[in-house]
């Protein structure tokens, strides 16, 4: 069974640490993205989320948000699932949407990636 708590690294060498995982599935932690290093900021950003408790033999789904408030006026929402391969390696698969603030409703079209 997957355990979300701990330190995770993605393909771009960003780090996510889930430090608190409550019995009801709520969790929190911090995210360190390599993107900030390009701008000269080695900043961590807070994350909060929830894990769906898996059924017997199932792999948990989860969602979390990251608030990039220290270096950007943006928020990213992630949704994914945790798997364990036959060798025991845990892997998180996710999709994400990043929303940046824009100055007007007319600019809304370019605010989400």
Return the pLDDT at 13. Answer: 83
pLDDT band at 3 (very low <50, low <70, confident <90, very high): confident
> Going by C-beta distance under 8 Å and a sequence separation of 6 or more, which residues neighbour residue 110?
102
Closest listed residue to residue 32, CA positions, set 5, 4, 13: 13
**Per-residue pLDDT at 44:** 85
- Report pTM: 0.84
Nearest 5°: CA angle at 7, between 76 and 66? 15
In order of start, what are the domains of the chain with their CATH numbers? Answer: 6-110 (2.40.128.30)
Which pLDDT score, from 0 to 100, does residue 99 have?
A: 92
Model pLDDT for residues 18-52, shown as the tens digit of each residue: 988 898 889 999 998 877 656 666 678 999 999 98
Task: For residue range 56-87, list pLDDT tens digits in order.
Answer: 667 889 999 999 877 778 899 999 999 988 99
107 backbone dihedrals φ, ψ, rounded to 5°: -90, 0
Q: 45 pairs with which residues across the strands? A: 31
- pLDDT reported for residue 59: 84
Q: How many CB atoms lie within 10 A of CB 11?
A: 5
Q: Which two tokens stand for residue 97?
A: 């949407």
How high is the pLDDT of residue 109? 94
User: Which strands sit side by side in the sheet containing 6-9, from one edge to the other?
Assistant: 6-9, 15-21, 26-32, 44-51, 61-67, 74-84, 90-100
């Amino acid at each position: 069974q997957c355990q979300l708590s701990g330190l995770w690294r993605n393909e771009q060498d960003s780090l996510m640490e889930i430090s608190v995982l409550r019995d009801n599935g709520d969790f929190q932690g911090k995210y360190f993205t390599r993107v900030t290093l390009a701008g000269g900021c080695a900043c961590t950003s807070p994350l909060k989320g929830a894990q769906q408790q898996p059924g017997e033999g199932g792999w948990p789904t989860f969602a979390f948000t990251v608030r990039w408030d220290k270096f950007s006026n943006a928020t990213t929402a992630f949704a994914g699932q945790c798997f364990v391969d036959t060798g025991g390696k845990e892997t998180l698969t996710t999709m994400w949407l990043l929303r940046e603030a824009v100055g007007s409703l007319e600019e809304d079209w370019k605010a989400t990636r």
